[in-house]
Amino acid sequence: MAKGHKDKVAVITGAANGLGQAFAKRLAEEGVHIAIADIGAADATVKLVQQAGRDAFVSKCDVSSPDSVAAMAADVQKHFGRADILINCAGIFPQQSFDDMTYADWKRLLGINLDSVFLCSSAFVPGMKKRGWGRIVSMSSSTVGSVVTGFVHYVSSKAGIIGFTRALASELGPHGITVNAIAPGLTKTPGAMSRAPRPGFATMDDEFESVAQFQAIKRAEVPDDLAGTISYLTSDDAAFITGQTLNVDGGRVRS
């Protein structure tokens, strides 16, 4: 069990599926109660958290909406009375060439992937400051360090998360709050498996196979490959690590 997790409360956005669900399961197994903030149905995640013997609370939330995030934060406060850990995981990754990208597409993606990180952090930092302890971890992406096409808005949002993480860490260090990010590689989640493969690949399985060949570890990444990093970064053991973005991608991107 990671140091300092027992009876903490974590808010995980996008925890109904994929990486967020894997993080909810892992943290619950380590003694953390979980608030799930997602627009989708979260029954499967609730079951996993309850199987681990922890409290699972769901607040339906559109993380790009200030009103919806404010309502979710009020729900969490009412139910748990606190939030010690915030994991900003909700995100979308529609593939779209720059020629086809409209300002509305850009705004929508930045709203869900980046504005959400500002809104959720703003909602929970005051309580963390009051208690003198907090952990914020947001999901960046290895695409920031890769040659990829069709993702100008997405890569911009994920690079924005790195800047946000660095800047906020500087302000919150004196308050016992760390702010970090993780940059996963292409990972087998429902979201990634259901999108169209990039040009040149017939199926998503082909794309996963090809990406793996550029990794030091030559197999497709799965959500559990990231759970240990979340556990560590949100623990007491990582109290002196802040402002960082960790590449957890099988050794593909080096930075």
Ligand X SMILES: NC(=O)c1ccc[n+]([C@@H]2O[C@H](COP(=O)([O-])OP(=O)(O)OC[C@H]3O[C@@H](n4cnc5c(N)ncnc54)[C@H](O)[C@@H]3O)[C@@H](O)[C@H]2O)c1
Question: Which of 16, 28, 34, 117 is close enough to bind ligand X by CB under 6 A?
Answer: 16
Rounded Cα gap, residues 10 and 31, in angstroms: 10
Q: Is 46 left (phi over 0), alpha (psi -120 to 50) or beta?
A: alpha
Can you state the angle between helices 43-51 and 18-29, rounded to 10 degrees? 20
The distance of closest approach from Cβ of residue 174 to ligand X in the complex, given in angstroms and rounded to an integer, is 28
How many residues interact with ligand X (rule CB under 6 A)? 29
Element (H, E) at 233: helix 224-233
Return the DSSP state at 98.
G
Residue type present at position 78 = K
Q: Of residues 36-75, which lie at the interface with ligand X (CB under 6 A)? A: 38-40, 61-64
In the bound state with ligand X, the residue whose beta carbon lies nearer, of 119 and 238, is 119
The distance of closest approach from Cβ of residue 240 to ligand X in the complex, given in angstroms and rounded to an integer, is 25
Residue type present at position 11 = V
Burial class (CB in 10 A: 0-12, 13-18, 19+), 121: buried
Based on the shown chain and the rule CB under 6 A, indicate whether residue 90 belongs to the binding site for ligand X.
Answer: yes
The distance of closest approach from Cβ of residue 3 to ligand X in the complex, given in angstroms and rounded to an integer, is 25
Residue type present at position 165 = T
Question: Which of 2, 11, 12, 19 is close enough to bind ligand X by CB under 6 A?
Answer: 19
Rounded Cα gap, residues 62 and 53, in angstroms: 27
Q: Of residues 189-208, which lie at the interface with ligand X (CB under 6 A)? A: 189-192
Q: Which of 80, 151, 154, 164 is an active site residue? A: 154
Based on the shown chain and the rule CB under 6 A, indicate whether residue 121 belongs to the binding site for ligand X.
Answer: no
In the bound state with ligand X, the residue whose beta carbon lies nearer, of 29 and 207, is 207
Q: Of residues 141-160, which lie at the interface with ligand X (CB under 6 A)? A: 141
Pair 208, 220: CB distance under 8 Å? yes
Active site residue 232: no
In the complex, the residues that contact ligand X under the rule CB under 6 A are 13-14, 16-20, 38-40, 61-64, 89-93, 112, 139, 141, 184, 186-187, 189-192
The catalytic residues are 154
